[in-house]
Amino acid sequence: MDKVNNKQIIVALDFDSAEQALAFLAQLDPAQCRVKIGKELFTACGPALVRAVIAEGFDVFLDLKFHDIPNTVSRAVKVAAELGVWMLNVHASGGLAMLEQSRQALEEFGVSRPLLVAVTVLTSLGEEDLRQVGITATPEQQVSRLALLAQNAGLDGVVCSAAETEILRAQLSPEFCLVTPGIRRPEDAAGDQKRVIGPAQAILNGSDYLVVGRPITQAASPAAVLQEFNLAIASVR
């Protein structure tokens, strides 16, 4: 599977209804981006919305961050793959067995299987947040530890902040993909993201896919802002 083509922007569909999500997608060209369906939208609309978005021509990153015992997660991963999604994720902190069994659950799908990536440290968490849950490592150290675990388990990549991608690129296989949320232009508010970066710098740092939410979904002209992000990426390719 080619991990990167001209669709490196993943637009986060942060809506709470199918009507809102589909009305928004009517403004975008599926040749220019992929989309992410997360917990809020999936909880509100379920698998039917995933199928509807795929039917509109969009590649779907199903962002449910599975984290449970290995058998439960591997079965959930298999069901998600049956929806025809392009990418899905699990939490790397679920451990090696959970990661390996999740990967094994996708083997029956052959070359058409979705990419499986692992969440390392959420971009809303800083060093103090990690200390509050008993992790004494810095975010960079913890991301590195979990990314190596995911690679050893045979996953396709990880979700990480662009602040860590340079470090990870020096440690991991070139084929291992890095998915980066928290992407903002200088004029965009950071919101609840603590470790953010611009699109061009993220690509230069080694990110393969960039997740962008509110700067596009809340724009007066989403297609125009998407084009800005794509042009920023093209300028450093």
Residues noted as catalytic: 65
The DSSP secondary structure of 64-103, one letter per residue, reads: EEE-S-HHHHHHHHHHHHHTT-SEEEEEGGG-HHHHHHHH
Adjacent-strand bridge partners of 88: 62, 116
**CA dist., res. 202 & res. 183, Å (int):** 8
Distance CA 189, CA 172 (A): 31
Q: What is the spatial distance between Cα 7 and Cα 40, in angstroms, rounded to a whole number?
A: 24
9 neighbors 230 (Cβ within 8 angstroms): yes
Could you tell me which of 194, 99, 98, 91 has the C-alpha nearest to residue 154? Answer: 99
Strand, coil or helix: what is 155? coil
Q: What is the CA radius of gyration of the chain?
A: 17
Which SS3 state, helix, strand or coil, does residue 118 take? strand
Q: List C-alpha distances in Å: 32 to 20, 121, 125, 128.
A: 20, 28, 30, 38
